[in-house]
């Protein structure tokens, strides 16, 4: 168990370092252009998950996360509660970072499926992470149907939950 935790810790540190230092190219398309073309993501089985088809006319709350991010995992109950609160006013989608072994993600989801009540998608090539300029996780972005960012937040601290929820609701 100790060795597994050590390995996960090292992976988390390396992943976090890469995410923090890798910046998207300056000529990157803005999120609005990306949404108008349809965002191609995948489910755990590898089937296409297209945001433009799932979110017709609705704002989308994108939650950028990874199974190797301790704060991301800590944030899951809040995101589930927020998903319940938002109901059909917005589509909540947890977007997992690409580059992780599918077996690792599948194991995590199997153990925690009862805690996650929102859609999950996988950004295999990190295109959405780049388009939305996400370099630190967890990150939340509320996007309107035109692809404009209405609200953005990085990091997780439980004492901010109420303020974040109220800010998101005020933007809908």
- Residue 96: which CATH number? 3.40.30.10
Those residues with Cβ within 8 angstroms of residue 69's Cβ, 6 or more apart along the chain or in another chain:
12, 15, 16, 137, 138
- Distance between CA atoms of 156 and 165, rounded to whole angstroms? 13
pTM here?
Answer: 0.75
Can you give the residue range of the structural domain that contains 24? 2-171
In this structure, what are the phi and psi dihedrals at residue 41, rounded to the nearest 5 degrees? -125, 180
Total domains in the fold of the chain: 1
Q: What is the pLDDT along the chain (172 residues), one digit of tens a residue?
A: 566 655 555 455 544 444 444 444 444 444 554 454 556 677 777 777 765 555 567 898 999 999 999 999 999 999 999 999 999 899 899 998 888 888 888 899 899 988 999 988 888 888 888 888 899 999 999 988 888 899 999 999 999 999 999 999 999 9
């Amino acid at each position: 168990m100790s060795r597994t935790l050590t390995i996960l810790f090292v992976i988390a540190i390396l992943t976090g370092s890469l995410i923090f230092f890798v910046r998207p190219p300056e000529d990157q398309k803005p999120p609005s252009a990306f949404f108008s073309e349809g965002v191609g993501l995948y489910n755990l089985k590898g089937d296409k998950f297209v945001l433009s088809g799932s979110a017709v006319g609705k704002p989308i709350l994108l939650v950028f996360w990874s199974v190797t991010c301790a704060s991301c995992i800590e944030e899951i109950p809040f995101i589930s509660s927020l998903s319940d609160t938002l109901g059909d006013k917005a589509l909540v989608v947890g977007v997992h970072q690409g580059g992780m072994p599918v077996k690792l993600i599948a194991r995590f989801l199997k153990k925690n499926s009862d805690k996650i009540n929102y859609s999950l998608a996988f950004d295999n090539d990190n295109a959405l992470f780049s388009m939305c300029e996400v370099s630190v996780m967890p990150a939340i972005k509320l996007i309107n149907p035109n692809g404009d960012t209405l609200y953005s937040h990085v990091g997780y601290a439980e004492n901010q939950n109420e303020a974040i929820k109220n800010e998101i609701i005020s933007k809908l």
